[in-house]
Amino acid sequence: MPKIRCLCDEVINLSVIPNKQEFKLIWEPLIEKLIDSLVNAHRQAKSDEDFEKQVYNLFYPKQPKFPEVYECPNCGRLIVFSSPSDPNPAFWFQREPVNGEADSLRSLVEKIIDN
């Protein structure tokens, strides 16, 4: 799925790495399991490179466990794929306008990271 056409007609390139329009949707109950897996990977790692490889395998497994979400840079819709290999999205979410400081999910996240 290298590209997708949003419902607003914007074409979004999905194959850019890293993709600034892409988000991993991590289910809150899964975070503790991820932390446990990271701790175990650190304990078992034979080297820094080995640990790094295990961390990448956790976050980018062959069978991904996180839905992937793309934000349309034009209309702000969120496009949810249950798996990166799915040809079609599982959901489209349309952003409702609010009087907030952020104009997109991406800018919201970038703001949090910068602080």
- Write out the residues near Zn ion by the rule CB under 5 A: 6, 8, 10, 72, 74-75, 77
For the bound state, the minimum distance from the C-beta of residue 56 to Zn ion, rounded and expressed in Å, comes to 31
Q: Closer CB to Zn ion, residue 6 or residue 69?
A: 6
Q: Are strands 91-93 and 22-24 parallel, antiparallel or unpaired?
A: unpaired
Nearest distance in Å: CB 73, Zn ion: 8
Is 86 in a helix, a strand, or coil?
coil
Q: From CA 1, how far away is CA 3, in angstroms rounded?
A: 6
Task: Give the shortest CB-72-to-Zn ion separation in angstroms.
Answer: 3
